[in-house]
Amino acid sequence: MGADEEGALADLKAHRRKVVDPKIAEHRGRIVETTGDGLLVEFALSMRRIARLNSRAA
């Protein structure tokens, strides 16, 4: 990234728009926080399933 930081950042943003964001939406997720090249994503549907499984196990 050092040689062309602006180009690398533009590529990263384009990849996120084209690939990552649609996959997050497809799985009913939401971006909670971004940190440079990192993402914290929450998938609420999965959390509901985990809670249901935990309640069944108890």
Query: Of residues 15 and 1, which shows the higher confidence score?
Result: 15
Report the pLDDT value the prediction gives residue 51, as an integer from 0 to 100. Answer: 86
SS (H, E, C) the chain: CHHHHHHHHHHHHHHHHHHHHHHHHHCCEEEEEEECCEEEEEEHHHHHHHHHHHHHHC
Report the pLDDT value the prediction gives residue 2, as an integer from 0 to 100. Answer: 67
Report the pLDDT value the prediction gives residue 53, as an integer from 0 to 100. Answer: 84
Structure tokens at 28: 């009913």
Structure tokens at 37: 């090249």
pTM over 0.85, yes/no: no
How confident is the model over 5-47, as pLDDT tens digits?
Answer: 899 889 999 999 999 999 999 988 999 999 878 999 998 877 7
> Where does residue 50 fall: left (phi above 0), alpha (psi -120 to 50 degrees), or beta otherwise?
alpha
